[in-house]
Amino acid sequence: MADDAQSTDDRLRLLIERIERLEEEKKGIADDIRDVYMEAKAVGYDPKIMRQIVRLRKMKPDDRSEQDMLLETYKNALGME
């Protein structure tokens, strides 16, 4: 029974360590992405718009079309177009 507890403790420790490594990698990647946006800004691009484009490109075409239609509908209802 003690071996089972030790095995469970070791497994938990290994899982926690993996999560910690992945979190550190994620932080590094987030820093790299931020650097790319800063580079883009330095040459005249708008990072805010670039983030929107990245988000839109992740969407399925049908979802993006639906979102565009709803946005137009709401803008029209508010007299913005």
Q: What's the CA gap between 71 and 78, in Å, rounded? A: 11
Split into its structural domains, the chain has a count of 1
Domain extent, residue 56, equals 2-77
Q: Are 38 and 51 in contact (CB under 8 A)?
A: no
Q: Compute the distance between CA of residue 11 and CA of residue 61 in angstroms, rounded to an integer.
A: 42
pLDDT band of residue 6 (cuts 50, 70, 90) is: confident
- Residues in the chain, overall count: 81
- Residue-wise pLDDT tens digits, 31-41: 999 999 999 99
The identity of residue 66, as a single letter, is: E
Over residues 43-74, the pLDDT tens digits come to: 999 999 999 999 999 999 999 999 999 999 99
